[in-house]
Amino acid sequence: MLKGNWRIPTETLSGPGRISELPGRVSDLGIKRALIVTDPGVAGLPFFAGIVASLEKENIAVAVFKDVHPDPIADDVAAGVRAYGAHEAEMVIAIGGGSGLDCGKSVALATATSLPLWDFEITRTSPELDRPIPPIFAIPTTAGTGSEVGRATVVTDLTLGRKIILLHRDMLPRLVILDAELTFGLPPSITAWTGMDALAHNLEAYYAPGWNPFADGIAVEGMRLVKEALLTAVSEPKNVDARGKMLAAASMGATAFQKGLGAIHSLSHPIGAKFHGHHGLTNAVLMPYVLAFNRPIIETRMAELAASLGVGGGFDGFLNWVLELRSRLKIPHTIAELKVTEDSLDFLAEEAFLDPNTPDNPRPADAGAMRKILVGALHGSLDGLDR
Protein backbone atom coordinates (compact mmCIF):
# COMPACT_ATOMS: atom_id res chain seq x y z
CA MET A 1 0.00 0.00 0.00
CA LEU A 2 1.38 3.43 -0.96
CA LYS A 3 1.00 5.15 2.39
CA GLY A 4 3.34 7.44 4.40
CA ASN A 5 3.66 10.68 6.34
CA TRP A 6 5.98 13.27 4.80
CA ARG A 7 7.40 16.57 5.96
CA ILE A 8 9.36 18.87 3.65
CA PRO A 9 11.80 20.74 5.85
CA THR A 10 12.59 24.29 6.51
CA GLU A 11 13.46 27.39 4.47
CA THR A 12 17.11 27.28 3.43
CA LEU A 13 19.42 30.00 2.09
CA SER A 14 22.17 28.14 0.28
CA GLY A 15 25.28 29.70 -1.21
CA PRO A 16 28.63 31.25 -0.32
CA GLY A 17 28.39 34.55 1.53
CA ARG A 18 24.74 34.13 2.46
CA ILE A 19 25.56 34.51 6.15
CA SER A 20 25.33 38.24 5.36
CA GLU A 21 21.54 37.80 5.17
CA LEU A 22 21.29 36.69 8.80
CA PRO A 23 20.76 40.09 10.48
CA GLY A 24 18.00 41.07 8.07
CA ARG A 25 16.20 37.78 8.57
CA VAL A 26 16.34 38.21 12.38
CA SER A 27 14.98 41.76 12.07
CA ASP A 28 12.20 40.52 9.80
CA LEU A 29 10.87 38.59 12.81
CA GLY A 30 10.82 41.82 14.87
CA ILE A 31 13.43 40.31 17.20
CA LYS A 32 15.78 42.54 19.18
CA ARG A 33 17.55 40.04 21.47
CA ALA A 34 19.12 36.77 20.34
CA LEU A 35 21.13 34.02 22.03
CA ILE A 36 23.81 32.39 19.89
CA VAL A 37 24.55 28.80 20.95
CA THR A 38 27.81 27.29 19.76
CA ASP A 39 30.91 25.43 20.95
CA PRO A 40 34.25 26.96 21.96
CA GLY A 41 35.99 25.78 18.78
CA VAL A 42 33.47 27.47 16.49
CA ALA A 43 33.35 30.61 18.67
CA GLY A 44 37.09 30.97 18.04
CA LEU A 45 36.87 30.73 14.23
CA PRO A 46 37.65 33.90 12.22
CA PHE A 47 34.12 34.38 10.89
CA PHE A 48 32.42 34.18 14.28
CA ALA A 49 33.13 37.70 15.56
CA GLY A 50 31.93 39.04 12.20
CA ILE A 51 28.56 37.32 12.61
CA VAL A 52 28.10 38.82 16.08
CA ALA A 53 29.15 42.28 14.84
CA SER A 54 26.76 42.11 11.88
CA LEU A 55 23.84 41.36 14.20
CA GLU A 56 24.80 44.17 16.59
CA LYS A 57 25.06 46.58 13.65
CA GLU A 58 21.40 45.74 12.94
CA ASN A 59 20.61 46.71 16.60
CA ILE A 60 20.11 43.13 17.70
CA ALA A 61 21.49 42.53 21.21
CA VAL A 62 23.48 39.32 21.17
CA ALA A 63 24.62 37.00 23.95
CA VAL A 64 26.86 34.04 23.16
CA PHE A 65 26.61 30.73 25.00
CA LYS A 66 29.62 28.74 23.86
CA ASP A 67 30.10 26.06 26.51
CA VAL A 68 28.78 23.15 24.43
CA HIS A 69 30.65 19.85 24.76
CA PRO A 70 31.24 17.66 21.72
CA ASP A 71 28.16 15.42 22.01
CA PRO A 72 26.23 17.85 24.23
CA ILE A 73 25.16 16.83 27.71
CA ALA A 74 22.09 17.84 29.72
CA ASP A 75 24.13 20.31 31.81
CA ASP A 76 25.04 22.20 28.61
CA VAL A 77 21.37 22.59 27.81
CA ALA A 78 20.55 23.75 31.35
CA ALA A 79 23.38 26.31 31.23
CA GLY A 80 22.16 27.48 27.83
CA VAL A 81 18.65 27.99 29.23
CA ARG A 82 20.10 30.12 32.03
CA ALA A 83 22.00 32.21 29.46
CA TYR A 84 18.78 32.59 27.44
CA GLY A 85 16.89 33.81 30.53
CA ALA A 86 19.65 36.13 31.71
CA HIS A 87 19.77 37.78 28.28
CA GLU A 88 15.96 37.88 28.00
CA ALA A 89 16.48 36.44 24.54
CA GLU A 90 13.65 36.04 22.05
CA MET A 91 15.24 33.47 19.76
CA VAL A 92 18.12 31.00 19.43
CA ILE A 93 20.70 31.18 16.65
CA ALA A 94 22.47 27.81 16.65
CA ILE A 95 25.84 27.90 14.89
CA GLY A 96 28.20 24.95 14.62
CA GLY A 97 28.44 21.29 13.94
CA GLY A 98 25.81 18.86 15.16
CA SER A 99 26.87 19.47 18.76
CA GLY A 100 26.23 23.23 18.63
CA LEU A 101 23.05 22.86 16.60
CA ASP A 102 21.62 20.11 18.80
CA CYS A 103 22.41 22.04 21.95
CA GLY A 104 20.85 25.22 20.54
CA LYS A 105 17.69 23.42 19.48
CA SER A 106 17.49 21.68 22.86
CA VAL A 107 17.94 24.99 24.69
CA ALA A 108 15.02 26.42 22.70
CA LEU A 109 12.91 23.38 23.61
CA ALA A 110 13.85 23.58 27.27
CA THR A 111 12.83 27.25 27.51
CA ALA A 112 9.30 26.16 26.60
CA THR A 113 8.76 23.56 29.34
CA SER A 114 9.40 22.86 32.99
CA LEU A 115 9.49 19.11 32.30
CA PRO A 116 12.77 17.16 32.31
CA LEU A 117 14.46 17.00 28.92
CA TRP A 118 14.19 13.20 28.82
CA ASP A 119 10.37 13.45 28.71
CA PHE A 120 10.90 14.42 25.07
CA GLU A 121 12.74 11.21 24.18
CA ILE A 122 11.74 10.11 20.69
CA THR A 123 10.19 6.87 21.98
CA ARG A 124 7.59 8.78 24.04
CA THR A 125 4.57 10.83 23.09
CA SER A 126 5.56 14.50 23.02
CA PRO A 127 4.19 16.19 26.17
CA GLU A 128 2.36 19.54 26.04
CA LEU A 129 4.60 22.62 26.24
CA ASP A 130 4.07 25.46 28.74
CA ARG A 131 4.73 28.03 25.99
CA PRO A 132 5.82 27.98 22.34
CA ILE A 133 9.39 27.07 21.45
CA PRO A 134 11.11 30.31 20.38
CA PRO A 135 12.26 30.71 16.78
CA ILE A 136 15.46 28.83 15.92
CA PHE A 137 17.83 29.70 13.07
CA ALA A 138 20.41 27.03 12.29
CA ILE A 139 23.76 27.65 10.64
CA PRO A 140 25.83 24.48 10.18
CA THR A 141 29.62 24.76 10.08
CA THR A 142 30.19 21.05 9.45
CA ALA A 143 28.58 19.09 6.62
CA GLY A 144 27.34 15.90 8.19
CA THR A 145 24.58 15.71 10.74
CA GLY A 146 21.90 17.70 8.92
CA SER A 147 20.55 18.69 12.33
CA GLU A 148 19.65 22.05 10.77
CA VAL A 149 16.69 20.49 8.95
CA GLY A 150 15.61 18.10 11.68
CA ARG A 151 13.13 18.02 14.54
CA ALA A 152 15.45 15.82 16.62
CA THR A 153 18.51 16.41 18.78
CA VAL A 154 20.96 14.05 20.45
CA VAL A 155 21.87 14.76 24.08
CA THR A 156 23.97 12.47 26.24
CA ASP A 157 22.59 11.35 29.60
CA LEU A 158 25.76 10.98 31.64
CA THR A 159 23.90 9.18 34.45
CA LEU A 160 22.80 6.37 32.16
CA GLY A 161 25.77 6.67 29.80
CA ARG A 162 23.34 6.86 26.86
CA LYS A 163 22.85 9.17 23.91
CA ILE A 164 19.17 10.14 24.02
CA ILE A 165 17.32 11.30 20.92
CA LEU A 166 14.90 14.10 21.75
CA LEU A 167 12.09 15.01 19.39
CA HIS A 168 9.66 17.85 19.08
CA ARG A 169 8.19 19.04 15.79
CA ASP A 170 8.74 22.69 16.77
CA MET A 171 12.48 22.14 17.17
CA LEU A 172 12.59 22.31 13.37
CA PRO A 173 14.59 25.49 12.71
CA ARG A 174 12.69 28.30 11.04
CA LEU A 175 15.59 29.27 8.78
CA VAL A 176 18.78 27.50 7.68
CA ILE A 177 21.82 29.18 6.16
CA LEU A 178 24.14 26.84 4.23
CA ASP A 179 27.19 29.00 3.61
CA ALA A 180 30.08 26.95 2.25
CA GLU A 181 32.64 29.55 3.30
CA LEU A 182 31.90 28.81 6.97
CA THR A 183 33.22 25.26 6.48
CA PHE A 184 36.57 26.20 4.87
CA GLY A 185 38.39 25.82 8.22
CA LEU A 186 37.19 22.27 8.91
CA PRO A 187 40.25 20.03 9.16
CA PRO A 188 40.51 17.09 6.70
CA SER A 189 39.71 14.49 9.36
CA ILE A 190 36.48 16.14 10.53
CA THR A 191 35.53 16.89 6.91
CA ALA A 192 35.89 13.18 6.17
CA TRP A 193 34.07 11.95 9.28
CA THR A 194 31.17 14.36 8.96
CA GLY A 195 30.94 13.63 5.22
CA MET A 196 30.64 9.92 6.00
CA ASP A 197 27.90 10.82 8.49
CA ALA A 198 25.99 12.47 5.64
CA LEU A 199 26.53 9.35 3.54
CA ALA A 200 25.29 7.12 6.38
CA HIS A 201 22.10 9.18 6.74
CA ASN A 202 21.32 9.07 3.03
CA LEU A 203 22.18 5.38 2.79
CA GLU A 204 20.18 4.15 5.76
CA ALA A 205 17.22 6.31 4.74
CA TYR A 206 17.42 4.96 1.19
CA TYR A 207 17.11 1.33 2.22
CA ALA A 208 14.88 1.80 5.28
CA PRO A 209 11.59 0.02 4.69
CA GLY A 210 8.50 2.12 3.98
CA TRP A 211 6.92 4.19 1.26
CA ASN A 212 8.48 7.62 0.96
CA PRO A 213 9.61 8.31 -2.61
CA PHE A 214 10.51 11.91 -1.66
CA ALA A 215 13.03 10.54 0.83
CA ASP A 216 14.29 7.92 -1.64
CA GLY A 217 14.94 10.47 -4.38
CA ILE A 218 16.59 12.93 -2.00
CA ALA A 219 18.79 10.16 -0.57
CA VAL A 220 20.05 9.02 -3.98
CA GLU A 221 20.96 12.57 -4.98
CA GLY A 222 22.51 13.15 -1.54
CA MET A 223 24.78 10.13 -2.06
CA ARG A 224 25.63 11.27 -5.59
CA LEU A 225 26.77 14.62 -4.16
CA VAL A 226 28.91 12.84 -1.54
CA LYS A 227 30.49 10.75 -4.28
CA GLU A 228 31.17 13.87 -6.33
CA ALA A 229 32.40 16.19 -3.61
CA LEU A 230 33.69 14.52 -0.43
CA LEU A 231 37.23 13.65 -1.55
CA THR A 232 37.63 17.11 -3.08
CA ALA A 233 36.35 18.82 0.09
CA VAL A 234 39.01 16.91 2.03
CA SER A 235 41.90 17.62 -0.34
CA GLU A 236 40.89 21.20 -1.27
CA PRO A 237 39.39 22.75 1.89
CA LYS A 238 38.54 26.03 0.15
CA ASN A 239 36.85 24.46 -2.87
CA VAL A 240 33.59 26.33 -2.53
CA ASP A 241 31.62 24.03 -4.85
CA ALA A 242 32.70 20.86 -3.07
CA ARG A 243 31.97 22.42 0.33
CA GLY A 244 28.58 23.63 -0.87
CA LYS A 245 27.68 20.21 -2.27
CA MET A 246 28.63 18.54 1.00
CA LEU A 247 26.47 20.98 2.98
CA ALA A 248 23.56 20.15 0.68
CA ALA A 249 24.23 16.40 0.96
CA ALA A 250 24.16 16.70 4.76
CA SER A 251 20.84 18.54 4.79
CA MET A 252 19.48 16.03 2.30
CA GLY A 253 20.51 13.08 4.47
CA ALA A 254 18.63 14.44 7.45
CA THR A 255 15.64 15.28 5.27
CA ALA A 256 15.61 11.74 3.93
CA PHE A 257 16.00 10.05 7.30
CA GLN A 258 12.50 11.03 8.37
CA LYS A 259 11.88 7.71 6.59
CA GLY A 260 14.08 5.92 9.11
CA LEU A 261 17.67 5.00 9.91
CA GLY A 262 19.06 1.61 10.82
CA ALA A 263 21.70 -0.49 12.51
CA ILE A 264 24.64 1.76 11.61
CA HIS A 265 23.12 4.36 13.90
CA SER A 266 21.81 1.85 16.46
CA LEU A 267 25.37 0.58 16.95
CA SER A 268 27.05 3.96 16.65
CA HIS A 269 25.06 5.56 19.50
CA PRO A 270 26.17 3.20 22.32
CA ILE A 271 29.74 3.13 20.99
CA GLY A 272 29.74 6.94 21.01
CA ALA A 273 28.27 7.11 24.51
CA LYS A 274 30.76 4.61 25.95
CA PHE A 275 33.94 5.25 23.96
CA HIS A 276 33.39 8.89 22.85
CA GLY A 277 34.51 8.52 19.24
CA HIS A 278 33.23 11.01 16.68
CA HIS A 279 29.73 10.02 15.53
CA GLY A 280 30.50 10.22 11.80
CA LEU A 281 33.73 8.29 12.21
CA THR A 282 31.94 5.50 14.09
CA ASN A 283 29.25 5.37 11.40
CA ALA A 284 31.92 5.17 8.72
CA VAL A 285 33.72 2.27 10.39
CA LEU A 286 30.48 0.32 10.89
CA MET A 287 28.99 0.95 7.43
CA PRO A 288 30.41 -2.04 5.49
CA TYR A 289 29.57 -4.52 8.27
CA VAL A 290 25.96 -3.37 8.49
CA LEU A 291 25.70 -3.43 4.68
CA ALA A 292 26.97 -7.02 4.68
CA PHE A 293 24.50 -8.00 7.41
CA ASN A 294 21.58 -6.39 5.53
CA ARG A 295 22.61 -7.88 2.18
CA PRO A 296 19.93 -10.59 1.93
CA ILE A 297 17.18 -7.95 2.15
CA ILE A 298 18.72 -4.99 0.30
CA GLU A 299 20.67 -6.67 -2.51
CA THR A 300 18.34 -5.62 -5.34
CA ARG A 301 17.89 -2.13 -3.98
CA MET A 302 21.64 -1.67 -3.65
CA ALA A 303 22.16 -2.84 -7.23
CA GLU A 304 19.75 -0.11 -8.36
CA LEU A 305 21.69 2.41 -6.26
CA ALA A 306 25.04 1.28 -7.63
CA ALA A 307 23.67 1.80 -11.14
CA SER A 308 22.29 5.27 -10.25
CA LEU A 309 25.60 6.35 -8.77
CA GLY A 310 27.56 4.98 -11.70
CA VAL A 311 29.68 2.64 -9.57
CA GLY A 312 28.14 -0.46 -11.21
CA GLY A 313 28.72 -4.01 -10.04
CA GLY A 314 25.51 -4.40 -8.02
CA PHE A 315 25.66 -4.79 -4.25
CA ASP A 316 29.37 -5.67 -4.33
CA GLY A 317 30.10 -2.65 -6.49
CA PHE A 318 28.56 -0.33 -3.89
CA LEU A 319 30.26 -2.12 -0.98
CA ASN A 320 33.63 -1.89 -2.71
CA TRP A 321 33.07 1.80 -3.41
CA VAL A 322 32.41 2.37 0.31
CA LEU A 323 35.53 0.39 1.28
CA GLU A 324 37.66 2.33 -1.21
CA LEU A 325 36.23 5.69 -0.11
CA ARG A 326 36.84 4.82 3.55
CA SER A 327 40.39 3.87 2.83
CA ARG A 328 41.10 7.03 0.81
CA LEU A 329 39.68 9.06 3.71
CA LYS A 330 42.03 7.23 6.11
CA ILE A 331 39.12 5.81 8.10
CA PRO A 332 40.02 2.77 10.20
CA HIS A 333 38.63 -0.62 9.23
CA THR A 334 37.80 -1.92 12.71
CA ILE A 335 36.07 -0.71 15.85
CA ALA A 336 39.12 -1.99 17.76
CA GLU A 337 40.85 1.09 16.31
CA LEU A 338 38.11 3.17 18.00
CA LYS A 339 39.18 1.58 21.30
CA VAL A 340 36.13 -0.70 21.49
CA THR A 341 36.97 -3.76 23.57
CA GLU A 342 35.77 -7.37 23.33
CA ASP A 343 34.35 -7.34 26.86
CA SER A 344 32.00 -4.44 26.00
CA LEU A 345 30.30 -6.23 23.10
CA ASP A 346 27.39 -7.72 25.09
CA PHE A 347 26.55 -4.34 26.57
CA LEU A 348 26.86 -2.57 23.20
CA ALA A 349 24.74 -5.21 21.45
CA GLU A 350 21.96 -4.92 24.01
CA GLU A 351 21.99 -1.11 23.87
CA ALA A 352 22.01 -1.19 20.05
CA PHE A 353 19.01 -3.52 20.06
CA LEU A 354 17.14 -1.03 22.29
CA ASP A 355 18.08 1.96 20.12
CA PRO A 356 15.01 3.61 18.53
CA ASN A 357 16.52 3.22 15.05
CA THR A 358 16.64 -0.59 15.24
CA PRO A 359 13.04 -1.26 14.14
CA ASP A 360 13.78 0.59 10.87
CA ASN A 361 16.74 -1.61 9.93
CA PRO A 362 15.66 -3.55 6.82
CA ARG A 363 16.79 -6.89 8.26
CA PRO A 364 15.42 -7.53 11.75
CA ALA A 365 18.29 -7.34 14.24
CA ASP A 366 18.04 -8.62 17.81
CA ALA A 367 20.85 -8.31 20.34
CA GLY A 368 22.45 -11.50 18.97
CA ALA A 369 22.53 -10.07 15.46
CA MET A 370 23.96 -6.79 16.76
CA ARG A 371 26.68 -8.76 18.54
CA LYS A 372 27.48 -10.62 15.34
CA ILE A 373 27.96 -7.32 13.48
CA LEU A 374 30.12 -6.01 16.32
CA VAL A 375 32.34 -9.11 16.29
CA GLY A 376 32.83 -8.68 12.53
CA ALA A 377 33.63 -4.99 13.01
CA LEU A 378 36.03 -5.73 15.87
CA HIS A 379 38.04 -8.24 13.85
CA GLY A 380 37.65 -6.55 10.47
CA SER A 381 35.78 -9.45 8.85
CA LEU A 382 32.76 -9.15 6.57
CA ASP A 383 32.55 -12.92 6.14
CA GLY A 384 29.35 -14.66 7.12
CA LEU A 385 27.47 -11.52 8.25
CA ASP A 386 24.85 -12.07 5.55
CA ARG A 387 23.90 -15.51 6.90
**Residue 154 sits in the site that holds ligand NAD (CB under 6 A):** yes
Among residues 111, 147, 266, 358, which is the contact residue for ligand NAD, using CB under 6 A? 147
Q: Using CA atoms, how far apart are residues 367 and 348, in angstroms rounded to an integer? A: 9
Helix (H) or strand (E) holding 178: strand 175-178
Minimum Å gap between C-beta 291 and ligand NAD is: 19
Q: Using CA atoms, how far apart are residues 324 and 332, in angstroms rounded to an integer? A: 12
Q: Using CA atoms, how far apart are residues 236 and 242, in angstroms rounded to an integer? A: 8
**Residue 356 sits in the site that holds ligand NAD (CB under 6 A):** no
What DSSP assignment string belongs to 209-266? SS--HHHHHHHHHHHHHHHHHHHHHHH-TT-HHHHHHHHHHHHHHHHHTTS---HHHH
**Residue 153 sits in the site that holds ligand NAD (CB under 6 A):** yes
For the beta carbon of residue 59, count every other beta carbon within 10 angstroms.
9
**Residue 254 sits in the site that holds ligand NAD (CB under 6 A):** yes
336: closest CA among 377, 373, 281, 276? Answer: 377
Q: Which is nearer to ligand NAD, 189 or 320 (CB)?
A: 189
Determine the length of the chain: 387
Minimum Å gap between C-beta 282 and ligand NAD is: 10
8 A C-beta contact, residue 8 and residue 38: no
Minimum Å gap between C-beta 185 and ligand NAD is: 4
Q: Which is nearer to ligand NAD, 197 or 204 (CB)?
A: 197
**Residue 173 sits in the site that holds ligand NAD (CB under 6 A):** no
Minimum Å gap between C-beta 89 and ligand NAD is: 21
What DSSP assignment string belongs to 144-162? S--GGG-SEEEEEETTTTE
Minimum Å gap between C-beta 313 and ligand NAD is: 29
Among residues 141, 282, 344, 357, which is the contact residue for ligand NAD, using CB under 6 A? 141
Q: Which is nearer to ligand NAD, 74 or 311 (CB)?
A: 74
**Residue 270 sits in the site that holds ligand NAD (CB under 6 A):** no
Minimum Å gap between C-beta 181 and ligand NAD is: 9
State the virtual CA torsion across 307, 310, 313, 318 in degrees, nearest 10.
Answer: -90
Q: Using CA atoms, how far apart are residues 197 and 86, in angstroms rounded to an integer? A: 35
8 A C-beta contact, residue 145 and residue 265: no
Contacts with ligand NAD, 26-65, as mask; x by CB under 6 A = -------------x-xx--x--------------------
Pairing between β-strand 152-157 and β-strand 162-167 as defined by DSSP bridges: antiparallel
Q: Which of residues 273-302 bind ligand NAD (CB under 6 A)?
A: 279-280
Q: Which of residues 95-124 bind ligand NAD (CB under 6 A)?
A: 96-100, 102
- The size of the interface with ligand NAD (CB under 6 A), counted in residues, is 32
Q: Which of residues 177-236 bind ligand NAD (CB under 6 A)?
A: 182-183, 185-186, 190, 194, 197
Q: Using CA atoms, how far apart are residues 116 and 55, in angstroms rounded to an integer? A: 32
Q: Which is nearer to ligand NAD, 167 or 382 (CB)?
A: 167
Q: Using CA atoms, how far apart are residues 273 and 285, in angstroms rounded to an integer? A: 16
8 A C-beta contact, residue 68 and residue 141: no
Side chain identity, residue 210:
G
Q: Which residues bind ligand NAD (CB under 6 A)?
A: 39, 41-42, 45, 70-71, 96-100, 102, 141-142, 144-145, 147, 150, 152-154, 163, 182-183, 185-186, 190, 194, 197, 254, 279-280
